[in-house]
Amino acid sequence: MQKSVINFKDISRFFQVGTETVKALREVSLHIQENEFVAIMGPSGSGKSTMMNILGCLDTPTSGTYHLNGQDVSKMSDNELADVRNREIGFIFQTFNLLQRSTALENVMLPLIYAGIGKSQRIKRAEETLKSVQLTDRMNHKPNELSGGQRQRVAVARALINNPSIVLADEPTGNLDSKTSVEIMGLLEEIHKLGNTIIVVTHEEDIAKHAHRIIRMLDGRIASDEMNNEIVTVSDYANLNA
C-alpha cells in the first residue's frame, strides 16, 4: 500500500493588499502518494505558485491543515518549517539559485551544512551526487563556467543531496532550450524511478506530459485532477529523431 506523502485538507491562503483581500487558494484538498510524478498547471493568478509555496513549506495557509509525511506543518514556526524543508524537500528553481562565487561541489554541499553533517562526509556525498547527474568533470567549476543545462544539473544534485521525500521543481526548464529541457526532464524521470515523489509546477504542456498525473488550477481551486494517459518520456524524443 502506497504511503500518503502530502495531505491538504481545506487549504486556503488569503492575502491583504490594501483594502482588498486576495483569495489565492480556496479550500483546496489534495492527496499525493509516495513516488507519484505530478504536474501542477494553471495560468497566472490561478494559485499554482501559492500552492507550491505551501507545499514546499515556504508559506503557511490562512486556514486548513497540511500533513507532510504524517506531520502537521500548517501551523509551524519559521524555524520549524526551515528544518522540515531541509529534511523533506529538495527544490529545483527556474533560475537555478546557485551561489555564483562557489563551485558546483560547494553549492551541492550547502544543505548538508545546515543539516550539521561533517566536512569529509559532505564532500563525499556531494561528489557522489554530482556523479549521479553526470557532472564529475565539472565539480570545481563555478556557475559562470557552466552551461544552463549544467547549472540546472547542479541544482538537481543540490535538491537530491539530503535524500528528500519530495523533489519540488518550479518551472525547471523555463530558462533552458528545448534540447536541454528534454535532458533535464530525463533526469527527473530517472529520479522518479529511484522512488522519489516528483512535483513539477509548470505552464508548459510539453513538460506536464512527462508527469503521470496533471492537476490544473483555476481561480484558487483545483479545476481538474487527472491521470495522464499520454505520458511522454525522453525515449519518445529519441525515437522521433531516429
pLDDT tier at 128 (50, 70, 90 boundaries)?
A: very high
Q: What is the mean pLDDT of residues 124-146?
A: 93
12: exposed, middle or buried (C-beta count within 10 Å: 0-12, 13-18, 19+)?
Answer: middle
Contact 39, 227 (CB under 8 A): no
For the whole model, what pTM was predicted?
0.89
Give the closest residue to 35 by CA, choosing from 56, 66, 72, 6.
6
**Spatial distance between the Cα atoms of 34 and 29, rounded to a whole number of angstroms:** 17
The CATH code that applies to domain 4-241 is 3.40.50.300
**Spatial distance between the Cα atoms of 202 and 51, rounded to a whole number of angstroms:** 12
Q: What is the mean pLDDT of residues 164-170?
A: 92
The one-letter amino acid code at 53 reads N
Q: What is the mean pLDDT of residues 17-34?
A: 94
Q: What is the mean pLDDT of residues 59-81?
A: 93
Contact 153, 137 (CB under 8 A): no
List the grid coordinates of 105: 561541489
Per-residue pLDDT of 11-21, as tens digits, reads 999 999 899 99
**What burial letters (b/e) apply to 92-125, b meaning 16+ CB within 10 Å?**
bbbebebeeeebbbbbbbbbbeeeebeeeebbeb
**Spatial distance between the Cα atoms of 73 and 33, rounded to a whole number of angstroms:** 17
DSSP 144: G
Per-residue pLDDT of 210-230, as tens digits, reads 999 999 999 999 999 999 999
Contact 158, 122 (CB under 8 A): no
Radius of gyration (Cα) for the chain, nearest Å?
A: 18
Q: What is the largest CA-CA distance in the chain?
A: 59
Q: What pLDDT sits at residue 238? A: 57
Give the closest residue to 67 by CA, choosing from 1, 5, 13.
5
Asked whether residue 60 carries a pLDDT value surpassing 70, the answer given is yes
Asked whether residue 242 carries a pLDDT value surpassing 60, the answer given is no
Give the closest residue to 38 by CA, choosing from 188, 234, 208.
208
Asked whether residue 2 carries a pLDDT value surpassing 80, the answer given is no
The one-letter amino acid code at 200 reads V
Q: Which alpha helices (DSSP H) does the chain contain, by range? A: 48-55, 78-88, 104-114, 119-132, 148-160, 178-193, 205-208, 234-241
Asked whether residue 1 carries a pLDDT value surpassing 70, the answer given is no
